[in-house]
Structure formats: structure tokens, C-alpha cells
Amino acid sequence: MTVTGVYGTPPAELAEAPAGSIQFSPLIPGSGRLEDREEGALSAMVLLAPPGTVERRYTVALALRALAPGGVLTVLAPKDKGGSRLGKELKGFGCEVRETSRRHHRICECERPPQLAGIESALAEGAPRVDDGLGLWTQPGVFSWNRLDPGSALLKRNLPALSGKGADFGCGIGTLSRTILSSPKVTHLVMLDIDRRATEMAARNVQDSRAEIRWADVRSGLRLSGLDFVAMNPPFHDGGAEDQSLGQSFIRRAAESLRPGGVLWLVANRHLPYEGVLKPLFKRVTLRAEAAGYKVYEAQK
Ligand SMILES: C[S@@+](CC[C@H](N)C(=O)[O-])C[C@H]1O[C@@H](n2cnc3c(N)ncnc32)[C@H](O)[C@@H]1O
């Protein structure tokens, strides 16, 4: 039986994954774990490579390990997001690469060679580890993987002792959840994130029977109601339109999940227009802190 894989959602006009391919992206809830695939188990793989160098080399190394010798690997990425380095990276793993360019992407194809070179170091560099500075389990590729995000730091400093049951939307590796759970009055905390690796690190960092960790998309994989609080540092990127709407969805989901009188604690980049979304959904919106380009809001439903 031939088993094929796909990682992410490559544009179909650039590289098409065979029908029935198993999805392996950690950013798509429910996907398979490429880390667990037996060596040589896949006959072909199409991979939309992630932008971070360490994460990309790790993912490509996992894909090559999972492929049978002679199995075809197609790797693509936008040129300015690692695509221009793909060919060299694949050659470094011992592959003979055919490379084309289309629609600002670099597309590389190769057969998995019988002998791979240097995948162990790529696998070790991209693997989970304890970061001494953070004092937490983390992995290259997850949000702010080796430093505390300044927005999260501001929210942690301003968060009061919360109580009852609540949620941390986009919990990452669990830094905010650890602060929330330091309050003994918190009875239950749902921690959810769309990144499987983040939830796995969060499970190592937050070993607390009150915590329930879910690998889910806040926009769709959620059935929460009657919560006393929600805390979050919603995803954004350079204020791009798409990411603003993602943050706005987080706010709407929080409003739906809270009981009347429940509170949302939110930190956001100062330039993001979240007040306009908060005000119609919440009874009271209060700016609680502002520093280093970030704002912390408390919004009561
Ligand atoms: C700005 S980070 C905050 C992470 C963590 N709370 C912290 O303070 O370090 C936003 C998080 O939301 C996650 N995320 C992005 N889109 C998501 C979605 N649709 N559903 C759930 N989580 C999402 C990201 O993976 C990331 O971990």
C-alpha cells in the first residue's frame, strides 16, 4: 500500500499532494505526527516549508526520514520565506535536487537518497528542549519560542488573581497559564492552541490537575460557555488585515464563552483596532495598562 503525506496547504497550482495524503502539519488540528512515522513508511511527500530555518530543516529532515528510499519529496516555499535556501539545504542532506521557480515560490523535488547526510543534527536542533532563560520546555517554531513576548510579559504583570473557571486562548507553551494557575481560586483552566507542538510543550510546563489542554482552532474547535474569565494574547502579525480578523475572532469567541459579568483580559499591540470589536460585545471595557507598544484591556461582559 502506498502512503503519501502532505505538510501544510501548498497552493494546488504549484504542487499537488496525491488524493488521500495524510496531513502532518502541527498547525492543522487532527493531523498526524511526522515525528512518529516509522522510517521509510511514506512513498511521497509534499511539504510547504515553514519560514524559520531551524524549524524548516527539522521538518524536512523528519520528512526525509519518513520517506522510503526513492520516495519523492517535493518541498516549496515563498522565495523570501526560506524558499531561496531550500535547494542548498536539501543538497546538504544528500539529495539531488531539481529546482524550479513559479509565482514567487521556489519548488524543489528530489528522491530520498539511500544514505541521508546530517539529518541527526537538524533533528536535534529543532527538537523540544528546556530553554534556560525561560525555564520552560519549548521548541523552535512555536510562538516566541526562546524569549518571553513583551505583550505576554505586560499581561502577566497586570493580571489580578483570577477565580473560577476560565480559558487561555492561544496558550502557546503555557507561560500565561502558569500565572493564571498561581491563583488558588482558579478551579479549571482550558488551555487551547492551534499549534500541536505548543500544546505538547504546555503539557510539560503546566502539570496541574486544574488544566485541560486542547489542540484546537479557537475559531471552530470550541464549545465553551459560562466561563468566569478568559485571558489571551491573540495572534497578530505586523497589523496585517488577515491577522487583525483572527484577533477579532478570538475576541468574539471570548464573549460567547463568558457568563454575564465574566471578564476578558487581553493584551494587544497598541496599533491594533480591537477597541471597536470589544465595545459592542462587552458591558465595560477598561484600559488597564499601556507600555512598550502594548495595551492591556479588561472587558466585562
Ligand atoms: C501571540 S501568541 C501568545 C502565546 C502565549 N499565550 C504567550 O503569551 O506566550 C498567540 C498564540 O495563538 C495561537 N493561535 C494562532 N491562531 C490560533 C487559532 N486560530 N486558534 C487557536 N490558537 C491560535 C498561536 O499558535 C500562538 O501560540
Does ligand 1 lie within 6 Å of residue 149's CB atom?
Answer: yes
Q: What is the pTM of this model?
A: 0.95
Q: What is the mean pLDDT of residues 126-143?
A: 97
Provide the pLDDT for residue 245: 86
Assess contact for 223 and 181: CB atoms under 8 A: no
Fold equal for 4-125 and 129-300: yes
* Paired strand residues for 214: 192
CB proximity list for 158: less than 8 A, separation 6 or greater: 265, 288, 289, 296
pLDDT tens sequence across 230-273: 999 998 764 445 578 899 999 999 999 999 999 999 999 988 88
**What integer best gives the mean pLDDT of the chain?**
94
Show me where the domains of the chain are located: 4-125, 129-300
Does ligand 1 lie within 6 Å of residue 285's CB atom?
Answer: no
C-alpha cell at 197: 507542538
Provide the pLDDT for residue 222: 72
In the Cβ-directed half-sphere of 227, how many Cα atoms lie within 13 Å? 27
Choice among 1-5, 57-61, 145-149 with the minimum mean pLDDT? 1-5
Helix axes 53-66, 83-92, angle to 10 degrees: 50
Burial 182-216 (b: 16+ CB within 10 A, else e): eeeebeebbbbbbbbbbbbbbeebbebeebebbbb
R_g over Cα of the chain: 21
pLDDT tens sequence across 150-167: 999 999 999 999 999 999
Residue with cell string 500565572: 179
Q: Which CATH class is domain 129-300?
A: alpha beta
pLDDT tens sequence across 24-61: 999 999 999 999 999 999 999 999 999 999 999 999 99
Provide the pLDDT for residue 241: 54
Ligand 1: centre distance to CA 233 (Å): 7
Does ligand 1 lie within 6 Å of residue 219's CB atom?
Answer: yes
Provide the pLDDT for residue 273: 82
Provide the pLDDT for residue 50: 95
3.40.50.800, 3.40.50.150, 3.40.50.80, 1.10.8.100: which CATH number matches 4-125?
3.40.50.150
Provide the pLDDT for residue 243: 72
pLDDT tens sequence across 188-236: 999 999 999 999 999 999 999 999 999 999 998 678 999 999 999 998 7
CA 26 to chain centre: 7
Assess contact for 143 and 169: CB atoms under 8 A: no
Does ligand 1 lie within 6 Å of residue 200's CB atom?
Answer: no
